[in-house]
Structure 1
C-alpha cells in the first residue's frame, strides 16, 4: 500500500548508496567536516566551504550528503565514536564504570566544543551507529546495576543530561578564551578583582567565594564536574536502594 507521507528528513532514515566515488566518499566528507568544525567553528561550516577544502564543488558533496542538516547528523555521530563505555562485566563497579562514561563524554565535548551548539539540531542523530552503540553499552551498565527496563533509559538520560549541561557551559567558556587569546589562568587572574567588587553587596556569594581557595582554574573545573557527577550517582544509587524488590547496591 502506497502512502503520500513525506520521508523523514534524516540521513539515518534513508538508504545509503551501495557504491560511492572513490575520490570523494561520505566518510571523507565527514572527516573533513569534523576538522573544519574543530578549527573554525560551526559558523564556518557550509557545503561550499567544505567543498573548497576537499577540492570539490558543493554539487559533488550533495551526491553523498543530501543537506547540511544531514551533515550535522553525520559529524555528531562521528565524534560520538570517541566516547568510551566499558563492558558491564562487574555489577558492583557500576558507579566507576558510569563515571568513566561521563568523563569520556565530557572530554569529547571539550575536544569538539561545536557539538554543544548543534545537539538540538540533529534530527534523528540518536539512530546513528556510534550513538546507538554507546547507548546500548550504557544501558547494559544501568541494567547490570539493577535498573529495570524502561527506567534504565531514564537513568541514562539523567546522567547524560548532567554531563551535556556542564560540558556545554565549559565549551562555551573555553571558546571565549580561545577568541580572547588569553590562557585560562590569565583570564581568571584578570577577572578576580572585578568579581570581588561585584560581590561586595552580596554577602552569601562573597562568603562562598572566600570559602573556596583560589586555585588553578582548570583544576577547579575538574573538581566542580566531579562534585556534580558524584551527586548524580548518589541519587541514582539511592533510587536503587529504595526501589522495592531491588538488590542492595553497595
Structure 2
C-alpha cells in the first residue's frame, strides 16, 4: 500500500512541480529591480550588466531574459522602484508651493540614498515606467489646478528636478568639500564665506537645499494669471 502511494505521488506532475520549486522567492520583475538597485548601490552603475544581475539573483542569464528583454528595461524597472518612494501626495491637497516643498524634499532624500543612479535616471525615458509616469501626472495636475499655463508646466518640473538631482549629489558629497587648506590667503572672500556658513552650525547640504528651493519658489508663479 505504502509503495503504491509513493509511486503515485512520484508520478503526480503537480507533486513534481512542487518539489522542484526553489525554496526562495520566485524570480519576478520587482525582485529583479531590487537586485539591480542593490548592485548599483554596492558597486556603481558600471557594474550593472545582465550577467552580473543574473549572478546576483542566483539564476542563469536565460532565466533573467524570460522576465526582461534588456538592460534598458531593467533600468526602467529600477526607475519605477525608486520613484515610487517619492512623496507627491501634497499636489492633491496642498497649495502648490507647499506641495512642491514636500515633493522636492522627498525627491532629494530618495536620490541621496540612491546617488549612483542620478546620472542614469536623470536622462532615462519614462515611457516604460508606469509608476514614474503616475508621479509626474500628480505633479502636473497640481500645477494645472493652481492655474498654470500648460506650456510652462514641463519647464518648471525640469527646472526643479535639475536642482533636486544636484542637491541629492551634494547631500552625499564630503563634508570638507570646500576646505581651502593652505590656499586660504589666496581666496579670502571664499574662505570667509565657507567659515561663516560653518559658524551657523547648519548642515551645509541641507542649508543649501532649503535656500535654493526657496529661491526657486520665489521665481515660480503661484496661481492663476501669473504663469
The question of a shared fold, defined as TM-score above 0.5 by the shorter chain, is answered with: yes
Per the alignment, do residues 120 and 134 of structure 1 end up closer, same or farther by CA in structure 2, a change over 3 Å counting? Answer: closer
Among residues 214, 217, 226, which one is paired with 2:210 in the alignment? 226
- For 2:115, what is the secondary structure of its paired residue? coil
What is aligned with 1:205? 190
Per the alignment, do residues 65 and 79 of structure 1 end up closer, same or farther by CA in structure 2, a change over 3 Å counting? Answer: same
Quick check: 1:135 aligned with 2:120? no
Q: Matches of 1:79 and 1:105 in 2, distance apart?
A: 10
Please provide the CA RMSD for this pair: 2.6
Deviations 1:140-191 (A, max 9, x none): 22122221122122222221121112223434x2xxx5xxxxxx5xxx3xx7
What is aligned with 1:95? 97
The structure whose Rg is larger is: 2
1:41 shift after superposition: 2.3
Q: Matches of 1:40 and 1:216 in 2, distance apart?
A: 33
Quick check: 1:236 aligned with 2:215? no
1:75 shift after superposition: 0.7
Quick check: 1:30 aligned with 2:33? yes
Quick check: 1:47 aligned with 2:67? no
Quick check: 1:82 aligned with 2:81? no
TM normalised by structure 2 equals 0.78
CA contact (8 A) 1:142 1:156 kept: no
CA contact (8 A) 1:79 1:108 kept: yes
Q: Matches of 2:191 and 2:35 in 1, distance apart?
A: 47
Gaps of 5+ in 2: 1-24
Gaps of 5+ in 1: 1-21, 178-183
What is aligned with 2:113? 111
Q: Matches of 1:120 and 1:141 in 2, distance apart?
A: 22
1:196 shift after superposition: 4.3
Quick check: 1:195 aligned with 2:180? yes
1:120 shift after superposition: 5.0
Q: Matches of 1:54 and 1:24 in 2, distance apart?
A: 8
Count of aligned pairs: 203
Quick check: 1:73 aligned with 2:76? yes
TM normalised by structure 1 equals 0.71
CA contact (8 A) 1:85 1:137 kept: yes
Per the alignment, do residues 209 and 23 of structure 1 end up closer, same or farther by CA in structure 2, a change over 3 Å counting? Answer: closer
